[in-house]
Structure formats: structure tokens, C-alpha cells
Amino acid sequence: MFWWVNKSAVQGVSVLAPMEDVTDLALRKVFVDFGLMPHVFFTEFTNVEGIATGKLQVLHRITPDEITMGFPTIAQLWGSDERKFYNAVFLVLYLGFWGVDLNMGCPVKKVIKKGLGAGLIKPENHGKAYSLVNIAKQAVNDFWANEKLKKHWQSLVFSRLQNAISYLGDVYARVADFDLPEATKQSIAQNVLNKQEYLQKLYQNKALLKPTVSIKTRLSIIPGEDNNREVVQQQSRGNSRNNDGLPDPWLEKIFLWGADFITVHLRTAEEMSKVPAHYERIAYINSLAQKAQTPWVVNGDILSTKQGNDLIDKQNSIGFMIGRGIFKNPLIFTGYNAEHEFNCQNKFNNLNCKKDKLFLQQIFKKHKEYFDEIFTIANLQKLWKHALKSYTENTGISLTLDFKTRRDYKHIKSPQVLEKFKKMYKLRESR
């Protein structure tokens, strides 16, 4: 597994959180190009029914890439149909994703009502959640047992690892030309070197790499626990309890399901992101992770790599995941602390320093270029027609593209994240 390096070379593995309409391929590419990358990427959550019907509006979320996928990149999936889930896992592995993550934390009411996302946390849906994990594990094992497919995955992942390592050499050379204060450049250059070293370690140990099955979830459905207090209390009598003194059956269960790792967003579904993350639960979750020998990733309100590293105990919580922190500080994964170290003594999102604004403008310009290149209907159709044909030929699983081109629009999605960033930083289009 790619986490092993944590113990020897990396303080804590940093992960960019999956964020719908934000952490798409264009953003991940820009993060690599400007030296702002974490150790691990996730895709946005991707619906298996949409994959099964070959919908380009869904498939674009798992568009493969030769450089960024040299970093461990996990495809996050959701859906209920087990056959479609199985096939979707096969497809993302065939595309060279490093693993699949099962979304069991989406708090959107419509999704919960269907018994999916955070709805799987409800006791009546635990059986469903468990079988989805098993289906995903079965698909990974079947894929791996097929020598031809295993070799295909290895050759993709190993060649992308090499691509990324050499690409980071180019990025490092470019950092010197960034028109930025010396300290900021230092942070970025150091980040590039650290990540290059991390990828080199993965490459040296490439024989150990195998696709992972992971879960991303929340503490429970409602604050203070309790999906069904009586049942829960009966079930967990004599079992360990969380720091509130209440049983936490969901987490206790899923840690025993044999996932390769579990990401816990330290809030309940009902809390959305409206209350501070429950860091007081960390010790309890560490104990579950230790008992189950399943590592976990801590998530919620992390605003610097230092904070992330301080939250993990390095034995059980092997990494930290950052989502909205990138809006406040796009340099967050470099270890650059915008609030304390920024040369203007200013928060990044309030900054009015000319150089840094110009740097952000360069980032946005590149983002737009990638966006236009990747998400144009004609480009995606070409790429996916080819990918699905090859997939069907090699796996016998039939998937055809279902998308009727509309001539009157160019893109498959709108550049929402760009607009959000631009508004936040009050940026104009750079010339």
C-alpha cells in the first residue's frame, strides 16, 4: 500500500479531499504544475449508475491523466446497484486509479433518503454498506487475480510514477522563475522535492503496490450519536464507548470490515460543516484503528500541514485530509502558512500584495487552459470512446458512451471553481 512510506520517510500523508466541482482533473493538474500538491489525490464522488450507462457528464470525473496519476489517486464511487458497483471498480482500476473509495458520508438529504452517502450510517443500511465494501474488495481481488489486468495496471501506474517523478524535476526548475518572495518560493521548492522523494520511494517499492479499497465517512447521523439509541445500547453493551460516553456502533463496525484505510470526517451528517470538527473523538478512533489494524485519515477543519501532522498519532492515523483549507490558502500543502508567514502579514484571501496576486493569476490562467483542454465535449468524447473500447475488449464488460453532442455548448461542465476562486481573491482575468 502506498501509505507504508509514512513510517519511514513522510511525517504524515497529506490528502486533498474530494470536493465536487472543485477537485476535478484541471485543479489537480494545476496543483502539480505549481508545486502545490499533496501526497494523495481523490476524485470527486462519481455515481456508478452514470458510469454503467456511459454518461459523459459522469465519466468526466474519472478522466485519467498521465502525470497527476503518478501520485496515488483514488476514485471515489457511490451508488447502490451491486453489479454496477463491481463493474465501476473494474473500470477505474483499468484506467489506472490507485484505489476506490466508498462514499459513506455525503449529507445531502436526497442521497440520505436513498440510503446512500451518510444514509448508509443508519443501522438499517449497515448490511448494504457492508455488502458494498465486499463487492469492491471482490472486484479488486478478481481484477488482481487476472494476470493480464494486473500487468496492465502495473504498467500504467509504474510508467505514470516515472512520468510524475521526472515532471517534478521540471516543476522544481520552474519554481526559481516564479516571481514570488524568496520564502514563498522556498516552501514550494521544498514541497516539490519532498513529493518527488515520496514518489521515488513508491517506485523503489513498486512491487508492494496494490489497489486499495477505502471508506470515507462521518461520525454518525446526528449529533451526540444515536441513530437508534436502544438498539445501539443493547448491541454495544460491554463494548468500548466514545468520549461522550455513548456507544458509536457505526465506526466500531466499519473498522472491522477490512478496508485498507478509513477517512473520518469528524462531524455527524446533520452537522454538515456547521460546527467545529470533533477533535475530541480522535483518541477514541485511534483505539478502534489499533484494535482493527486499519489505519485512518483524519478530516475536518484542518488549516495547515502542521495542524494535520499534530493531529495524527502516526501509528493509527496515518494521514490528514484537507478540503476547504485550499480556498483560504492554495499553498497549504507546501507547509506555507499564509496566516503567519505571509510577507504582507495578511491572510492569503485578503492579500493585496502585487506579486502574490500575480502568482495567483498565473495559477488561474493555467487552470482555465486545462479546463478548456479537458472538459470540451469533443475532447472527452474522443478520449472516452477510445478508453471504453479498449476496456470492453480487455475485460469483456461492455460499456458504450451515451452522450448526444449538443452543438450549442462547448463544455461538459461549467468552470464553477474558477469563478469561486476569482471572486474570493477579487481577481481579474490575467492578460
Ligand X SMILES: Cc1cc2nc3c(=O)[nH]c(=O)nc-3n(C[C@H](O)[C@H](O)[C@H](O)COP(=O)(O)O)c2cc1C
Residues that bind ligand X (CB under 6 A): 17-20, 22, 44-45, 76, 103, 105, 216, 265, 273, 299-302, 322-325
Least distance (Å) from ligand X to the CB of residue 286? 19
Least distance (Å) from ligand X to the CB of residue 124? 22
Q: Which is nearer to ligand X, 105 or 335 (CB)?
A: 105
b/e sequence 62-95, b meaning 16+ C-beta within 10 Å: bbbbebbbbbbbbbbbbbbebebbbbbbbbbbbb
Least distance (Å) from ligand X to the CB of residue 266? 9
Q: Which is nearer to ligand X, 1 or 102 (CB)?
A: 102
Q: Which is nearer to ligand X, 62 or 209 (CB)?
A: 62
395-402 LR contacts (CB < 8 Å, sep 24+): 395/90, 395/94, 395/149, 397/87, 397/90, 397/91, 399/51, 399/52, 399/54, 399/87, 399/91, 400/54, 401/54, 401/56, 401/59, 402/53, 402/54, 402/55, 402/56
Q: Which is nearer to ligand X, 225 or 301 (CB)?
A: 301
- The phi, psi pair for 36, rounded to 5°, reads -105, 15
Least distance (Å) from ligand X to the CB of residue 329? 12
Alpha-carbon distance of 186 to 188, in angstroms, equals: 5
Least distance (Å) from ligand X to the CB of residue 78? 8
Q: Which is nearer to ligand X, 260 or 301 (CB)?
A: 301
Contact in structure between 342 and 364 (CB atoms under 8 Å): no
Ordered DSSP codes for 158-178 = HHHHHHHHHHHHHHHHHHTTS
Least distance (Å) from ligand X to the CB of residue 389? 28
- Which position's Cβ is nearest ligand X? 323
Contact in structure between 60 and 413 (CB atoms under 8 Å): yes
Residue matched to cell numbers 487552459: 369
404-410 LR contacts (CB < 8 Å, sep 24+): 405/377, 405/378, 405/381, 406/377, 409/377, 410/376, 410/377
Q: Which is nearer to ligand X, 32 or 219 (CB)?
A: 219
Q: What residues pair up with 51 in beta bridges, in sequence order?
A: none
C-alpha cell recorded at residue 374: 479537458
Q: Which is nearer to ligand X, 44 or 248 (CB)?
A: 44
Contact in structure between 104 and 217 (CB atoms under 8 Å): yes
Least distance (Å) from ligand X to the CB of residue 308? 10
Least distance (Å) from ligand X to the CB of residue 269? 11
Q: Which is nearer to ligand X, 69 or 118 (CB)?
A: 118
